[in-house]
Structure 1
Amino acid sequence: MNDEMNLFSKNNIHQPLADEIRPRKLDEIVGQKQLLGSGKPLRQIIDKKIPISLILWGPPGTGKSTLAFVMASAYGLPFEKFNASIDNKAELQKLVANHPNESFVLQLDEIHRLTKPIQDYLLPYLESGKILLVGTTTENPIITINPAIRSRCELFEFKPVSPDDIVPVLQRTTKSVFNFELDQKSAKMIGNSANGDVRVALNMLETLVAMHGKTLNQKQIAEFAQNQHFAFDKDTTYHYDYLSAFNYAIIGSDTDAALYYLSVILNSGDLESAIRRIRDAAYMCIGLADPRAVDTAVLACDTAEKIGLPRASTNLSYATIILCLAPKSDSAWKSYERANEDGKEANQLHPMPTYLRDSHYKHSIETTGGGDMINPFNEKHQVAHQKYLPKDLEDKQYYEPRDNKREQAYYQRYKALKKYLYGNGAENNE
């Protein structure tokens, strides 16, 4: 192999390629056009050198750390790095002491792991402008970052970088660092395998060139890429985004989308969350519109739990398709919400009929009236002509059906029962 393609010098590991070619100017950063394009908000902040702290969040390898470095250069300020997951307060104090008479840009990586002592030390410097903070994280800051820090920063979400944006970086790097041309299709194969992470793409390129040199071809790239697994971490914010997308795809009756999001979730190894979402969607979103579909989906989930991955994917695919194609109804969910508006009030406001009170003690009927009710099973059609709601709620209708055929049939029975229970007794419940 040529010396220039060797990852190792005689005694030291070579500097990672992603660090070696890190952009030095704003226009060299790839992706994030929604933030860094001409006239976009983050671009304006940097171009106008507005001294405001930032929190940048999004997947790894999307340019967050690079932007912090470029921002310091654009502002003409010193640049320091601090990692909240491994560095301590003493390290931060040392960084501040390095700049006694000047402000500096502090890239605070893993900012969602910031401890309270470090936060308390940091806040006065943010207030005074001594530190221009650029916090970086893969987690949603609204959920994970303390409001005291969050309220002093502008928040910007970084998106995965598209393969089309990664391709020119790979081709440019191959030519300038390794002295050969990487064809468009080969670069696209690497870009597609990187899951929106520029650093991963560059690491793949570096490893492939170290293995094959200038003879690198598409077959070699394909063989290498298929052994890489870049599924998201099931403990991150993005995992919950995919769970949400899965749920909404079922609600929206988009079978193909739901199956795609299910595959992403199962590839991360999270069988439990997929099962939980299917069970929840079955009752919340299909419910009375198709009880048989609900039962079928829940049974498939029970089977999936017993079988486990990878075979359980078939059971959950079956349940997902059933729910997507079933008619939809949120009436059970909405009916409870309406009932809960009254139910969450002080129960003394809505006293129940006395004959519904507990009768499991001696003299309950004489003492409270508990149990002094008509037994429905002794009545025609096993329905007694008596009221069950508190008197002031008798006119309430919590259950409101959707317009699917099955639920309309239920609704006819609901209306007949309501009329029989709260009417004058002349009607029947047929």
Structure 2
Amino acid sequence: MTSDFDTCGLPDGSAGPASPEDTIRPSKLDEFIGQDELRANLRVFLRAAMEQGRALDHSLLYGPPGLGKTTLAQIMASELGVNLVTTTGPVLERCGDLAAIVTNLRRGDILFIDEIHRMPPAVEEILYPAMEDFKLDLIIGQGPGARTVRIDLEPFTLVGATTRLGLLTSPLRDRFGVIFRLEFYNPDELARIVTRAAAILGIGVTPAGARVVGERSRGTPRIANRLLRRLRDFAVVAGAATLDEGLAKEALARLDVDPQGLDQMDRKILEVLIGHYEGGPVGVKTLAVAISEEVRTVEEIYEPYLIQCGLIKRTPRGRVATAKAYAHIKKRMLD
């Protein structure tokens, strides 16, 4: 990034032509696959805002990484025909950083803050009146001569995204009029996402080939699209015009992604948990040290899928491997 925030050119146009990879991201709600209940409700809220000529209510999107939070924020702006300004919680280090952004928003614009749970408390506090009353209270000067200046803002929509809803303070969370939880995608939805992306990228893919990718994408579109690009490379080198089931399985095996979608690090977590700690329980910090990984990465990237698959459990005493985990590792060793 060249600055603390980026403005997506909606509806004013982008800076240049998009690459094929950029166009994979859907720009309209009708193009978005999965999250059916969320999409149905969002469609109602968008239509109501447009018919009433008002800004969309502040919205909070939460869930594991890679499920489409950023894409949905872009779709909201596209559907409403307004500008989207994007930033992240850690970038907003000072109150002035946020003030510089919100004072430049036009009526109806969307401010998207990713990792909103990582905003400093001081910045979060000046966001409260901006969200509730569209006013910004700034303190000018220091000491006895300090004074408060109130700045009127254009009505705007704050869209926050987080993977850690529990880390948001209650005052901030309660100021969002709409709260959406994004769920993991099922293999059928991911296969449809792969088929759509393949068509955009100019890759031939059979239904069975798309299904293989969908089944091994950990319920996550971002991973499905990443795997598709790598499988495209294998297809090009193999001289194959179409990605079929056999080529998909062979390429994914070479990428060390097993039929359940587990990669090398997933299996390492299970192997350490079972082999070093007799299945647990073991604390996440100890587990992270044992696999040479950061605690946050273990908690946010690997654990959600392993828990969803029923391979590990979180208990008050730590992480525990399930019988399914033992069976998976045993089968892997036999294979």
Query: Under a length normalisation based on structure 2, what TM-score does the superposition of the two structures give?
Result: 0.62
8 Å contact from structure 1 (residues 16, 203) kept in 2:
no
Could you tell me how far apart the structure 1 residues matched to 2:301 and 2:65 are? 12
Change in CA separation of 1:237 and 1:82 when aligned onto 2, cut-off 3 Å:
same
Query: Equivalent residues in 2 for 1:165-314 (5 A)?
Result: 165-178=189-202, 180-213=203-236, 215=240, 216-226=243-253, 227-228=256-257, 229=262, 231=266, 233-236=297-300, 239=303, 261=310, 263-265=311-313, 273-275=318-320, 313=326
Query: Equivalent residues in 2 for 1:79-98 (5 A)?
Result: 79-89=84-94, 90-98=96-104
Change in CA separation of 1:174 and 1:54 when aligned onto 2, cut-off 3 Å:
same
Tell me the alpha carbon deviations over residues 254-303 of structure 1, each in whole angstroms, 9 at most, x when there is no partner.
xxxxxx62x2459xxx9x7235x99xxxxxxxxxxxxxxxxxxxxxxxxx
Q: 2:163 aligns with which of 138, 142, 145?
A: 138
The equivalent residue for 1:350 is none
Name the aligned partner's letter for residue 182 of structure 2. F
Q: CA deviation at 1:97?
A: 3.7
- Contiguous gaps of at least 5 residues in structure 2: 1-17, 50-54, 135-154, 270-296, 331-335
Structure showing greater relative contact order (alpha-carbon pairs closer than 8 Å, 6 or more residues apart): 2
Query: Which stretch has the larger CA shift, 71-80 or 22-31?
Result: 71-80
* Secondary structure, aligned partner of 1:200: helix
The equivalent residue for 1:342 is none
Q: CA deviation at 1:120?
A: 1.7
Q: Which has the higher strand share?
A: 2
8 Å contact from structure 2 (residues 92, 123) kept in 1:
no
Could you tell me how far apart the structure 2 residues matched to 1:95 and 1:42 are? 25
Q: CA RMSD in A?
A: 3.4
- 2:18 is equivalent to residue 24 of structure 1: no
The equivalent residue for 1:157 is 181
Q: CA deviation at 1:220?
A: 3.6
Tell me the alpha carbon deviations over residues 279-331 of structure 1, each in whole angstroms, 9 at most, x when there is no partner.
xxxxxxxxxxxxxxxxxxxxxxxxxxxxxxxxx958xx9xxxxxxxxxxxxxx
Name the aligned partner's letter for residue 65 of structure 2. P
Could you tell me how far apart the structure 1 residues matched to 2:109 and 2:77 are? 8
Could you tell me how far apart the structure 2 residues matched to 1:48 and 1:96 are? 24
Q: CA deviation at 1:94?
A: 2.9
The equivalent residue for 2:137 is none
- 2:147 is equivalent to residue 123 of structure 1: no
The structure whose Rg is larger is 1
Could you tell me how far apart the structure 2 residues matched to 1:30 and 1:107 are? 21
The equivalent residue for 2:275 is none
Query: Equivalent residues in 2 for 1:69-108 (5 A)?
Result: 69-89=74-94, 90-99=96-105, 101-108=106-113
Could you tell me how far apart the structure 1 residues matched to 2:234 and 2:191 are? 20
Change in CA separation of 1:274 and 1:88 when aligned onto 2, cut-off 3 Å:
closer
The equivalent residue for 1:35 is 38
Q: CA deviation at 1:236?
A: 3.7
- Contiguous gaps of at least 5 residues in structure 1: 1-13, 246-259, 279-311, 318-430
Change in CA separation of 1:86 and 1:173 when aligned onto 2, cut-off 3 Å:
same
The equivalent residue for 2:58 is 53
8 Å contact from structure 2 (residues 312, 319) kept in 1:
no
Tell me the alpha carbon deviations over residues 195-246 of structure 1, each in whole angstroms, 9 at most, x when there is no partner.
1111111111112212322614434422443414465954249948977x8x
Could you tell me how far apart the structure 2 residues matched to 1:265 and 1:190 are? 26
Change in CA separation of 1:72 and 1:199 when aligned onto 2, cut-off 3 Å:
same
* Secondary structure, aligned partner of 1:48: helix
Q: Which has the higher helix share?
A: 1
Q: CA deviation at 1:85?
A: 2.9
The equivalent residue for 2:277 is none
Q: CA deviation at 1:55?
A: 0.8
Query: Equivalent residues in 2 for 1:315-334 (5 A)?
Result: none
Q: CA deviation at 1:52?
A: 0.9
* Secondary structure, aligned partner of 1:136: strand
8 Å contact from structure 2 (residues 194, 210) kept in 1:
yes
Name the aligned partner's letter for residue 155 of structure 1. I
8 Å contact from structure 1 (residues 108, 136) kept in 2:
yes
- 2:67 is equivalent to residue 62 of structure 1: yes
Could you tell me how far apart the structure 1 residues matched to 2:99 and 2:112 are? 14
Tell me the alpha carbon deviations over residues 154-204 of structure 1, each in whole angstroms, 9 at most, x when there is no partner.
2211111222112223223323322x4210010011111111111111111
8 Å contact from structure 1 (residues 31, 62) kept in 2:
no
Identity %: 26
The equivalent residue for 2:333 is none
Alignment length (residue pairs) = 241
Could you tell me how far apart the structure 2 residues matched to 1:205 and 1:240 are? 22
Query: Under a length normalisation based on structure 1, what TM-score does the superposition of the two structures give?
Result: 0.49
